[in-house]
Amino acid sequence: MLNIVIFGAPGSGKGTQSENLIEKYNLAHISTGDVLRAEKAAGTELGKLADSYMSKGQLIPDELMIDILASVFDQKTKNGDCKGVIFDGFPRTIPQGTALSEMLKERGEKIAAVVSLDVAEEELIDRLISRGQKTGRTDDNYETIKARLDVYYNQTTPLKEMYEKEGILHAIEGIGTIDEIFGRIATVVDKVK
Ligand code: B4P
């Protein structure tokens, strides 16, 4: 299977580019942010718990996310009608990265590429503020965005080094039109598929 991790700071375009990848390569999409927002909208206990972290810009605890990820992966791939999976917003910590590799190995799978979208901080903040104004997404306000960026720099960026050592990290310039950036991503994916 073609398993791709799309990696980057909040607002770097992970969700946006995932939509293009799904369509072009017939991949299933796992967005942990979308899973948590759906739980919140449904008013479940998990959703209430997730919201208590997301509204502060913090990460949901690893043990919980790792369990969720494995069950969503099995559910999305059970029919065998997708060519692979795009992991959008997971992993976000080293323990999540290790758990993802183990989960895939147990199923005879591996990550084909980690696509890392590089975008300057001012641009990230502008994009997220603008999305917050358009959609009312409650974590897209200045204070929470700054907290999410701190979490990204402290807890998520160490994964880059891990994937670089594994030789599967592909850094992509994440500034430009959505189509231009997708062209850069597709060049990488076409080489590994
Ligand atoms: P996510 O839902 O993953 O949200 P995100 O990091 O903000 O990225 P997203 O994919 O939505 O936005 P994108 O960059 O595409 O996470 C939200 C929260 O959930 C986290 O803070 C955390 O609390 C929790 N969570 C999720 N996963 C977790 C995990 N694994 N462990 C623990 N906690 C977890 O786009 C942003 C905006 O930019 C959009 O408006 C888009 O239109 C715009 N944009 C995109 N590309 C552009 C371009 N080229 N030019 C201009 N604008 C562009």
189 in a structural domain? no
Kindly state whether residue 172 falls inside one of the protein's structural domains: yes
pLDDT at 7: 97
Q: Looking at ligand 1, which atom is closest to the CA of residue 54?
A: 23
CA 11–ligand 1 middle distance (angstroms): 5
CATH number reported for the structural domain that contains residue 49 in this entry: 3.40.50.300
One of 137, 146, 191, 193 is an active-site residue; which one? Answer: 137
Q: Is the pLDDT of residue 95 over 90?
A: yes
The β-bridge partners of 29 are: 86
Classify residue 193: in a domain, yes or no: no
Q: Is 148 a catalytic residue?
A: yes
CB of residue 47 inside a 6 A radius of ligand 1: no
pLDDT attached to residue 79: 87
* Chain centre distance of CA 2: 16
Whole-number pLDDT of residue 85 = 97
Residue 172, ligand 1, Cβ within 6 A: no
User: What would the 3-class secondary structure string for the chain be?
Assistant: CEEEEEEECCCCCHHHHHHHHHHHHCCEEEEHHHHHHHHHHHCCHHHHHHHHHHCCCCCCCHHHHHHHHHHHHHHHHCCCCCCEEEEECCCCCHHHHHHHHHHHHHCCCCCCEEEEEECCHHHHHHHHHHHHHHHCCCCCCHHHHHHHHHHHHHHHCHHHHHHHHHCCEEEEECCCCHHHHHHHHHHHHHHHC
Residue 175's domain comprises 4-184
How many domains does the chain contain in total?
Answer: 1
Q: Is residue 56 part of a domain?
A: yes
Of 37, 40, 92, 127, the active-site residue reads: 92
Q: Is residue 12 part of a domain?
A: yes
Prediction pTM value: 0.95
Report the percent of the chain where pLDDT is more than 70.
100
Q: Note the pLDDT tens digit of each residue in 51-84.
A: 999 999 999 999 999 999 999 999 999 988 889 9
The percentage of residues in the chain with a pLDDT greater than 90, rounded to a whole number, is 98
Whether 37 is catalytic? no
Q: Which of 16, 100, 122 to mutate to test the pocket of ligand 1 (most atoms within 8 A of CB)?
A: 16
Residue 177 included in any domain: yes
Considering the candidates 37, 40, 127, 148, report the single residue annotated as catalytic: 148
- 92 annotated active-site: yes
Give yes or no for residue 35 CB within 6 A of ligand 1: no
Per-residue pLDDT at 80? 84
Distances in Å between the Cα of 126 and the Cα atoms of 130, 146, 159 are 6, 12, 25
Domain presence at residue 9: yes
Give mean pLDDT, residues 125-151: 97
Asked whether residue 192 is domain-assigned, the answer is no
What is d(CA 70, CA 99) in angstroms, rounded to the nearest whole number?
9
